[in-house]
Amino acid sequence: MLEYAILIAIAMITLALILNVYRLIAGPSVIDRVLALDTCYINSIALIVLTSLHFKSPLYFEAALLIALMGFVGTVATSKYLSRGDIIE
């Protein structure tokens, strides 16, 4: 039962990632694309955790932590640049 739940959840999150990629391509402004990319990072964290549950190996969590960190830094830097014209003042 857990196996089927994990497979269904992987399919749902892949669909969510496809919807994010649609907004990333079609977004009317730059900040929409930043938001879509940030949501892509978060959904891929969920996908990596589910992959780790599927293969029963705890080796994937470092990758999830790194993606969380790099995604946050990228979003903050881009938003800061868009709102102030500079990243570190």
Partner 1 sequence: MEIIISTLILFGAFFTLVGSIGIVKLPDFFMRLHGPTKATTLGVGAILVASSLYYFIFQDTISLNEILIAIFLFLTAPVSAHLMAKAELHKRNSDMKKPD
Asked whether position 63 contacts partner 1 by CB under 8 A, the answer is no
- Enumerate residues 10-49 that contact partner 1 by CB under 8 A: 12-13, 15-17, 19-20, 22-23, 29, 31-32, 34-36, 38-39, 42-43, 45-46, 49
Nearest to 10 by CA among 46, 37, 38: 46
Interface with partner 1: number of residues (CB under 8 A): 48
49 vs 56: CA distance, rounded Å: 10
| Min CB(44)–partner 1 separation in Å | 10
**Under DSSP, is residue 1 helix (H, G, I), strand (E, B) or coil?**
coil
Asked whether position 87 contacts partner 1 by CB under 8 A, the answer is no
Q: How many CA atoms lie within 13 A of 24 on its CB side?
A: 13
Q: How far is CA 81 from CA 31, 34, 77, in A?
A: 11, 12, 6
Of the residues 55, 70, 72, 87, which one makes contact with partner 1 according to CB under 8 A: 72
Asked whether position 55 contacts partner 1 by CB under 8 A, the answer is no
Tokens representing residue 80 in the block: 């800061």
CB atoms within 10 A of CB 89: 6
* Residues engaged in binding partner 1 (CB under 8 A): 1-2, 4-6, 8-9, 12-13, 15-17, 19-20, 22-23, 29, 31-32, 34-36, 38-39, 42-43, 45-46, 49-50, 52-53, 56, 58, 61-62, 64-65, 68-69, 72, 75-76, 79-80, 82-84
